[in-house]
Amino acid sequence: MLKVVSTRLAVVRNFFGGLFVIAPICLTLACKAMPLDNGEGALERAKNGLLEELQSEGVTDPRVIEALRKVPREEFVRPHDRYAAYDNRALPIGKGQTISQPLIVGLMTQLLGLTGNERVLEVGTGSGYQAAVLSLLCQEVYSIEIDPDLAAEAAQRLARLGYQNVHVKAGDGFFGWPEAAPFDAVIITAVAPRVPEPLLAQLKPSGVIVMPLEEGWGETLVRVRKLEDGGTKTERFGAVAFVPMRGAVRSQEEPGN
């Protein structure tokens, strides 16, 4: 059947271990018919199939795979999208936003290199799915959502599902969460013209920021590591296209201007 695919990511292209990944957005795709059985057995089979697909496409960290296995994605989508919770695609969650494609969640999480003791800042809570995955891989998650309605819904959902180490607030992620800093890692799920200076200041030495970054020729998924001397080292992981990060990052002048 025909499916209309919508996501907070646009077209995403990455190279991970030589793999070329394309995540669809806002396209009408011809797909095989999906079963409408949304029972627990069907969901479990779909989840297992998805995890096999993700591993074949570059999500190889066993801790990340296990976190994706444990988090019930069906709880983070709209009730009528429950049957599609384990499709490898984004799904709308309202307010013009989506729950991100599982492959992108897995790859970006993997790039953080979490070991279990970290404090992680997430910019862009959405439905709370990424925060839930992170919560199983680190000590504390602090997540900021610019839309207050989505922030409130995500906080309630995460509390109901028992994710006690996730803290959510509404606000402009550009400014970070100074009261909870410093952070070991930061993940940003929208593209920005530069690394937000407050987030870099709130990052510990040797910490990393994983985000899409606007560059002269397009957008790139990057991992920025903060060095002991305060400098940074940037690694690039391929061309991407995300929705723009909103707020002060678009209105404030570039440093030095």
| List of domains in the chain | 2-251 (3.40.50.150)
Verify whether residue 100 is a known catalytic residue.
Answer: yes
Mean pLDDT, to the nearest integer, of 73-99?
92
pLDDT of residue 239: 78
Q: What is the pLDDT of residues 171-198, one digit of tens each?
A: 999 999 999 999 999 999 988 999 999 9
Q: What is the dihedral of CA 251, 181, 219, 247, to 10 degrees?
A: -20
**pLDDT of amino acid 54:** 98
Helix, strand, coil shares of the chain as percentages rounded to 5? Answer: 30, 30, 35
Residue 199 has pLDDT above 90, yes or no: yes
Banded model confidence at residue 4, pLDDT cuts 50, 70, 90: very low
Question: Which pLDDT value is given to residue 252?
Answer: 63
Cα dihedral: 194, 174, 145, 121 (round 10): 80
Highest mean pLDDT among 84-93, 130-139, 210-219: 130-139
The three-point CA angle 227-232-237 to 5° equals 120
Whether the predicted model's global pTM rises above the 0.85 cut: no
Cα 81 to Cα 91: distance, rounded to the nearest angstrom: 8
Tell me which of 183 and 20 has the higher pLDDT.
183
Instruction: State both tokens at 168.
Output: 């959510």
Q: Which of 56, 100, 127, 251 is catalytic?
A: 100
pLDDT at 168 over 90: yes
Segment 40-45 shows an average pLDDT of 89
Look at phi and psi of residue 165 and say left if phi exceeds 0, alpha if psi is from -120 to 50, else beta.
alpha
Residue 48 confidence (pLDDT): 97
pLDDT at 96: 80
Burial tier of 139 (Cβ tally within 10 Å: 0-12, 13-18, 19+): middle
pLDDT in tens, 201-247: 999 999 999 999 998 888 889 999 999 998 999 999 887 767 788 89
Tell me which residue of 27, 36, 31, 34 sits closest to 5, measured CA to CA.
27
